[in-house]
Amino acid sequence: MNSANGNDSKKFKGDVRSPGVPSRVVHVRKLPNDINEAEVIGLGLPFGKVTNLLMLKGKNQAFLEMNSEECAQTMVSYYSSVTPVIRNHPIYMQYSTHKELKTDNSPNQVRAQAALQAVNALHGGGMGVGMGVGMGGMGMGGMAIPADPAAMGGAGSQSPVLRVIIENLFYPVTLDVLHQIFSKFGTVLKIITFTKNNQFQALIQYADGLTAQHSKLSLDGQNIYNACCTLRISFSKLTSLNVKYNNDKSRDYTRPDLPTADSQPSLDHQTMQAAAAFAAPGLISASPYGGAHGFPPAFALQQSGLSMPGMPGLASLGMGHGGMAAAAAAANRLGLSGLTASGGHNVLLVSNLNPESVTPHCLFILFGVYGDVMRVKILFNKKENALIQMSDCTQAQLAMSHLNGQRLHGRAMRVTSSKHTTVQLPREGHEDQGLTKDYSNSPLHRFKKPGSKNYSNIFPPSATLHLSNIPPAVVEEDLQRLFASSGSTVKAFKFFQKDRKMALIQMGSVEEAIESLIEFHNHDLGENHHLRVSFSKSTI
């Protein structure tokens, strides 16, 4: 059978899992139940024009037809190395055995065609479409279409260092603005900015080449501000940056102890305020989908889902914050969620916690997956609320984007930026029943070593956990019994073939996995081995 027919969609069984032969039709599996057409189209858009769509919602599957086999190959190749995630569901795709899609006039297909027409009308007109899918476990708050959608860089060009040239520099762009934007795709380790050939340029180093590739694919060709400050991104020949000073021209985020030297501030407070103010047209423009028939007028960001929200007005950006306002303006221009004026704060407010079960230790372990937690305070009079101080604002942003909405002890947590800049410890002699804890010297911090491989293994909560530091004497049954001892369901288990110090264990749900990570991370397995537990992007 060479074509999939929409008439047959109710009894259509999907592809048998074997095809490796390229086709311009891509089979997408394991979609969340509440997926919509626009989100599925968003998976294909960065790689070329999507020419047809067949949704099989009852089977959590879909078929995307690209306009060429080459586009489909680029798409399948990219997603084989960077697993896309929509609302905490890893999505899987492969070539379909079908060579084309045929659709009919059923209500499902009419809706799909309306969505396609709306998107392709905008895409064909050369307008940036702010659609975003969270990839590789990192929450991409709004992946816009690259200028050259198929340009992914060759397999051998995955340096962790990106070279960024900013064209049409009508308004100032600072190191902080670049850090805010590029941090949405992974932890930025180092940045150096300079002017060469009368062009403002930057070198940006990630922990690994895959994150750099993901960032390049998403940001190349985008405008930071409305119709100007265009990002032109390529892979650098360098594999590591040597930063000598932490100032407004260069920064090594793994070495806060570096001197500042004598760098003169390149931009003053008023200049940065002006930059943010001039960015206004890019922020308050209406959603281009507003008038599309049969298409939702705006898409709210849901846990690394599709992003086309109405852009906030300047009032919400906090103009008094100078550089942070400009960073927030730039981030919102690119559809990157959550970067408001409070983006510079490293304290999070967590609400809707279960007051019967929550402890400072459990919050320390969970939020410690995304950064080094310095202090935790559960509020004395409102025990369903807590303040968590991370070591920096990037880690706070990362924790917020991954944990907001996740369920802990039967309740969905709400995670937002706090107005506080630090968590106060109780005064001596004023005990608070152990509700405030200082973890600044904890040996359990995952990110205290500069360039730690933990930076490249940050993934959203998932039902599958990655276990490491397993001693030779511990066997599968021991670990299955341990994880089942808390009342959770163990669905599957697998040791790594090449290294039996590591394994994957699949729990009954994401919530069970979260609680298992909290309970068993650092569990003493004997022989001086403490179990390391983190979320995995893989499934068993």
Domain covering 459-535 assigned CATH 3.10.200.10 in the classification: no
Contact in structure between 15 and 90 (CB atoms under 8 Å): no
454 contact partners, CB below 8 Å, separation of at least 6:
446, 447, 534
pLDDT mean across residues, the chain: 74
| Cβ neighbours of 355 (radius 10 Å) | 13
- Helices 360-367, 510-520: crossing angle, 10 deg rounding: 110
Res. 281: pLDDT tops 80 = no
Q: Tell me: the pLDDT tens digits for 303-345?
A: 222 222 222 221 222 222 334 444 444 444 454 433 333 335 7
Distance CA(225)–CA(326), nearest Å, equals: 9
pTM comes to 0.43
pLDDT of amino acid 2:
52
Sign of the dihedral through C-alpha 388, 392, 182, 364: negative
What is the band of 287 on the pLDDT scale with cuts at 50, 70, 90?
very low
Confidence (pLDDT) at 310:
27
In this predicted structure, what is the pLDDT of residue 451? 60
What CATH superfamily is the domain 347-438? RRM (RNA recognition motif) domain (3.30.70.330)
20 — pLDDT class (breaks 50, 70, 90): confident
CATH assignment of 161-252? 3.30.70.330
Which one, of 458, 461, 537, 533, lies nearest residue 503 by Cα?
533
**Whole-angstrom distance, CA of residue 503 vs CA of residue 470:** 8
The pLDDT of residue 403 is 92
* The pLDDT of residue 314: 19
Render pLDDT for 81-112 as a digit per residue (tens, 0 to 9).
777 877 778 889 899 998 998 877 777 777 77
Q: Could you read off the pLDDT of 385-444 as tens digits, one per residue?
A: 999 999 887 788 788 888 989 999 999 999 998 888 899 888 776 666 789 999 999 999
Q: Where are the domains of the chain?
A: 25-101+109-114, 161-252, 347-438, 459-535
pLDDT for 298 equals 25
Share of the chain above pLDDT 90, in %: 36
Is residue 362 within 8 A of residue 427, CB to CB? The reply is no
Give the closest residue to 349 by CA, choosing from 403, 298, 288: 403
Report, as an integer, the average pLDDT of 520-524: 95
pLDDT (mean) for 42-59:
84
Q: Do domains 25-101+109-114 and 459-535 have the same CATH topology?
A: yes
**What CA–CA distances, in Å, run from 220 to 160, 363, 416?**
15, 37, 29
The span from the CA of 250 to the CA of 443, in Å, is: 30
Structure tokens, 150: 């198929």
pLDDT bin (cut points 50, 70, 90) of residue 484 is very high
Selected residue with higher pLDDT from 218 and 478 = 478
CB 23 within 8 A of CB 1: no
Domain 25-101+109-114: CATH superfamily is: RRM (RNA recognition motif) domain (3.30.70.330)
CA angle in degrees (0–180, nearest 5) for 184-419-370: 35
The model's confidence at residue 293, banded by pLDDT at 50, 70 and 90, is: very low
| Burial of 429 (C-beta count, 10 Å sphere; 0-12/13-18/19+) | exposed
Average pLDDT over residues 251-262: 82
Beta bridge partner(s), residue 188: 206
* CA separation for the pair 173, 134 (Å, rounded): 26
The structure tokens listed for 512 are 């069970």
**DSSP result, 282-320:** HHHPPPTTTT-TTS-S-B---SS---BPPPPPGGGG-GG
Rounded Cα distance between 137 and 157, Å, is 22
Tokens of 419: 């107005």
